[in-house]
Amino acid sequence: METTTNTAALAVDQKEVKRIVQAQRDFFATNGTKTIAFRKKQLSKLRQLIADNEDAIVEALHQDLHKHEFEAYATEIGFVMVDLDKALANLSKWAKPKKVKTPPFLFIATSYIHPDPYGNTLIIAPWNYPMQLLIAPLIGAIAAGNTAILKPSEFAPHTSALFAKLINSTFEENYIRLIEGAVDETQWLLNEKFDYIFFTGSTKVGKIVYQAAAKHLTPVTLELGGKSPCIVDNDTHLDYTAKRIIWGKFVNVGQTCIAPDYILVDQKVKAAFIEKLKYYMQQFFGDNPQESESLGRIINESHFDRIVSYLGDGDAVIGGQHDRSDKYIAPTVLDNVKEDSSVMEDEIFGPVLPIIAYGNLREAIAFINARPKPLALYMFTKNDKKVDRVIGETSSGGVCVNDTLMHIANPYLPFGGVGQSGMGAYHGYESFNTFSHQKSVLHRSFLLEEPIRYAPYNLKRNWLKKIMDWTL
């Protein structure tokens, strides 16, 4: 089938959504997306598109989130480039059928697992890392041989518009199409049948997506959010602990799905830890963080108001200042918070860090286990036995010991949630795997025939048992 003409027209209606989905289904049916050469060519095109437009991407991210170019490269552009290079270097190996054993009673045969593209896929992204969370899943979709429709978030309009222009002028619409829009457009898309849906966003909208997918029995990855706890043991390197937590919490001003949401600190070191936070926050952001070029801004007024409302849930021992006209909230540490206050019930998703003291590790573990399973769990300690205990006795999407966020930077570690924080995982090989169906193939020969399986049955059950036991 011919690929259809591409225009960068951005607004769509429901009919148009239907037409594009059907065009992608038709194109997939031609097998045009499946050869390794085609997939590699498309990954290279995507790489080139990003490399050629680095400055424009940095600018769009600055306009949407006031991101410093260092942060924009580290957490969005560079992050995606590493994943792209990994996919390009390894795709031939990943896509090869994997041979598995065949039991002797199936002699003569070979068995293998053939990674199969699902078909037409839908990728829905949030606004907080508007490039990374749109493009990283796309790498998996392309590498695995699928078509894709991308739906970025309406709350990062500059990044959304830029990628609409870039993607829609680089790829044919029946292969990859970016559709801009908000709830209506996403609902129109969700009404259609996809072969796979990859959603990143809130737990609330994740449930809507899961229900829509269930209507068509469409498999999903749900990359959701929640409250990621951070345990600070008394036996830790307090300076590095404070610095690494400040970095992970206030990068993108706390608007990170795996930002440490709250601190559980051993009461013996609480006062000293808060002093270290004070010292390093001043070092990182100066006396007036509003003037720091290294600090981002809250995405919009409604999130600003929500986060500011948390400031009343405790005592701001550091920060607490805010300026609505600039969507600025100072990096803030809250002491004396109540466990049933909103700041301890909602995902904070902003630069407010509550601190709660614990008496012993059992208490800290019980605190975490009494709440929904987090996306990430952080533990700062020099004591490996305590690390083993926390890993063994809690459940979370991932764990990072003695640092924050950095586990996401290792492409060899699958990234995803569990329970309320999501299902499925991606990055590196796992992105390819996520967008592939693992098709089992048994290939038998005509050289031998075993008549005993056919009717009329002449073999006693005990004999069959022996044969089957022998073959395991």
Q: Which two tokens stand for residue 245?
A: 């937590």
Alpha carbon distance 160, 165 (integer Å)? 9
Q: Which residue is nearest to ligand NAD (CB)?
A: 225
Closest alpha carbon to 232 in 276, 269, 283, 284: 269
Q: Which alpha helices (H) appear in 78-130, and where do they start and end?
A: 78-95
Closest alpha carbon to 99 in 458, 470, 460, 441: 441
Quick check: 133 binds ligand NAD (CB under 6 A)? yes
Site string for ligand NAD, 83-122 (x = CB under 6 A): ----------------------------------------
Q: Which two tokens stand for residue 109?
A: 């045969």
Q: Which two tokens stand for residue 40?
A: 């590699």
Q: Which two tokens stand for residue 291?
A: 């003037």
Quick check: 280 binds ligand NAD (CB under 6 A)? no
Quick check: 406 binds ligand NAD (CB under 6 A)? no
367: enclosing H helix or E strand: helix 361-369
* In contact, 33 and 1? CB cutoff 8 Å: no
Asked if 257 is an active-site residue, the reply is: yes
Task: Closer to ligand NAD by CB, 205 or 238: give it.
Answer: 205
Which of these is catalytic: 223, 230, 400, 430?
Answer: 223
- In Å, what is the CA distance from 427 to each residue of 125, 190, 431? 15, 24, 5
Which of 24, 42, 153, 436 is in the footprint of ligand NAD by CB under 6 A? 153
137: CB partners within 8 A, 6+ apart: 123, 125, 198, 200, 221, 426, 431, 435
Alpha carbon distance 368, 289 (integer Å)? 31
- Give the per-residue SS3 of 14-46: HHHHHHHHHHHHHHHHCCCCCCHHHHHHHHHHH
Alpha carbon distance 143, 21 (integer Å)? 20
Task: Closer to ligand NAD by CB, 376 or 387: give it.
Answer: 376
Q: Which two tokens stand for residue 134?
A: 């749109």
Quick check: 201 binds ligand NAD (CB under 6 A)? yes
Asked if 345 is an active-site residue, the reply is: no
Task: Closer to ligand NAD by CB, 117 or 225: give it.
Answer: 225
Quick check: 75 binds ligand NAD (CB under 6 A)? no
User: By three-state DSSP, how is residue 450 classified?
Assistant: coil
Torsion, CA 186, CA 39, CA 222, CA 248, rounded to 10: -110
Quick check: 346 binds ligand NAD (CB under 6 A)? no
Task: Closer to ligand NAD by CB, 50 or 150: give it.
Answer: 150
One-letter amino acid of 428 = G
Quick check: 431 binds ligand NAD (CB under 6 A)? no
Quick check: 186 binds ligand NAD (CB under 6 A)? yes
Which of these is catalytic: 172, 180, 257, 347?
Answer: 257
Least separation in angstroms between CB 154 and ligand NAD: 5
Quick check: 223 binds ligand NAD (CB under 6 A)? yes
Which of 16, 26, 59, 154 is in the footprint of ligand NAD by CB under 6 A? 154
Quick check: 182 binds ligand NAD (CB under 6 A)? yes
DSSP 8-state secondary structure symbol assigned to residue 202: -
Which of 57, 124, 231, 264 is in the footprint of ligand NAD by CB under 6 A? 124
Least separation in angstroms between CB 199 and ligand NAD: 7
Task: Closer to ligand NAD by CB, 198 or 380: give it.
Answer: 198
Which of 208, 308, 413, 467 is in the footprint of ligand NAD by CB under 6 A? 208
Which of 33, 42, 200, 221 is in the footprint of ligand NAD by CB under 6 A? 200
Task: Closer to ligand NAD by CB, 207 or 453: give it.
Answer: 207
* In contact, 195 and 118? CB cutoff 8 Å: yes
Q: Which residues are catalytic?
A: 223, 257
Q: Point out which residues bind ligand NAD (CB under 6 A).
A: 124-128, 133, 151, 153-154, 182-183, 186-187, 200-202, 205, 208, 223-225, 257, 347, 349, 375, 417, 422
